[in-house]
Amino acid sequence: MLTAFPAHTYRNRIDAIKRRLAERDLEALVVNFPENINYLTGFDSLGFLWYQALIISPKLAEPIFVTRTSEEPCTWELSCIKDAIFYDIAKEEPLRIVAEMLAQAGLSQAPIGLEMSASTFSPLQFKALCDYLPEARFEDASRLIAQERLIKTPLELAYQRSAARMADLGMLAAFEALRPGISEVEVAGIVAHALGKAGSENAAISPMCSTGPRSAMAHAMPHRQTISHGDVVILEHAGVYNRYHAILMRTAVIGQPTPRLREVSALLTEAFNAAVETAKPGTPMGEVNRVCNKILDRIDLSRTRVHRIGSSLGLAYPATLLETMVLDETDECLFKPNMSFSIEPNLSLYNEGFGIKLGDTVLCSAEGSSSLSALPPELTIIN
């Protein structure tokens, strides 16, 4: 069995989820998020491209894993799963199998939790499950496992620290490659190569690079557009160790920055540092957003922010590397030691023709929060 953690860790995690089910008065949970299946069993495969589910219930001696036949070797070699059903995608309906397993366990009329917000669980599949079990009482339990994953163990944090070192090497490779005439896709490829050389697995999102006016497009994918002297270049990627992610975002400029770029980038660095400093144990999560915006609004920049200031980070599979906890200004949940999350107050000054990315993976400890990156959170000038 080749897994990131010993078997007893997965057993303890499943026991913890069963306790959370009892607190919610749920008798079963159908797990659909691939990262949650990994968290509970170690299973690591692209098998989530077709329907798969892990059924957990106190009425079952072991969780039941339902996946397609091609995943059988991965199931036995890359997880601690003991009970699995493999279906033929050409002949069998997996939701019928899930319904049959629940019914056989005496759960056909029970309150059952579903991860309804999982991208791997479609509305059509939900309808099919309801049709197969018309008397069951389904409830959304999308955040149930996520809440258990918020506080990381020392080994989980060690994996993220390794991932952060890989991300740093990827960014340094990008800085070394940047020059007039190189294309965005070439830079992204160089980053991917550097990450792989450092030992990183493929991330939930591929390396991103946007240049010139495209730097105002925070989520634009790399293009064949070439970089010119004077261009702003935004970069984003993640290092990955045993599926644990550490993100990194930085901005560079080819040649000397304009006074406006210097002004904006310096204030963003100040806001970023203040947000990290604010994320102390006992502080409401929304406070980091308020502190950041107060600084940015010295020159009316908070309105150019492109998204929330951050989200919890850890295990991830495509299509997103973010966990479900978000650092939203309305969120009064408190920071706690051993939470890991992103701080990323990215700006898009679209009308001025540029944007700035600045983001790190941050760890909250008993003493306060700090970035896992060794790279300074400031504009990089490529001469």
Half-sphere exposure of 192 (CA within 13 A, CB side): 15
Lowest mean pLDDT among 5-19, 113-127, 319-333: 319-333
Position 90 scores a pLDDT of 93
Read off the tokens for 347.
């700006």
347 lies in some domain = yes
Burial class of residue 137 in the structure, from the number of CB atoms within 10 Å of its CB (0-12 exposed, 13-18 middle, 19+ buried): exposed
The answer to whether 264 and 301 are in contact (CB under 8 A) is yes
**Residue 244 CB neighbour total at 10 angstroms:** 28
Comparing C-alpha atoms, which of 314, 367, 317, 374 is closest to residue 340? Answer: 314
Q: Are residues 71 and 109 in the same domain?
A: yes
Position 323 scores a pLDDT of 79
Domains held by the chain: number:
2
What is the spatial distance between Cα 289 and Cα 271, in angstroms, rounded to a whole number? 9
Q: What is the pLDDT of residues 113-142, one digit of tens each?
A: 999 999 999 999 999 999 999 999 999 999
Q: H helices within 42-153, ranges in order? A: 72-77, 94-104, 123-132, 144-149
Q: 149, 171, 200: which is the final residue of a domain?
A: 149
Q: Are residues 11 and 101 in the same domain?
A: yes
Read off the tokens for 254.
């080819």
Position 325 scores a pLDDT of 75
Position 128 scores a pLDDT of 96
Position 346 scores a pLDDT of 96
Q: Are residues 113 and 169 in the same domain?
A: no
CATH number for the domain spanning 222: value is 3.90.230.10
Query: Is it the case that residue 348 has pLDDT exceeding 80?
Result: yes
Q: What is the pLDDT of residues 196-248, one digit of tens each?
A: 999 999 999 999 999 999 999 999 999 999 999 999 999 999 999 999 999 99
The SS3 assignment for 107 reads coil
127 lies in some domain = yes
Distances (CA, A) of 198 to 51, 87, 175, 285: 32, 37, 16, 33
Comparing C-alpha atoms, which of 19, 25, 18 is closest to residue 137? Answer: 25
CATH number for the domain spanning 11: value is 3.40.350.10
Q: 149, 171, 196: which is the final residue of a domain?
A: 149
Q: Are residues 15 and 104 in the same domain?
A: yes
Instruction: Please state whether the predicted TM-score (pTM) of the whole model is above 0.85.
Output: yes
350 lies in some domain = yes
Q: How confident is the model at residue 320 (pLDDT cuts 50, 70, 90)?
A: confident
Query: Is it the case that residue 75 has pLDDT exceeding 90?
Result: yes
172 lies in some domain = yes
DSSP state of 256: S
Q: 102, 117, 149: which is the final residue of a domain?
A: 149
Q: Are residues 104 and 179 in the same domain?
A: no
What is the spatial distance between Cα 62 and Cα 145, in angstroms, rounded to a whole number? 17
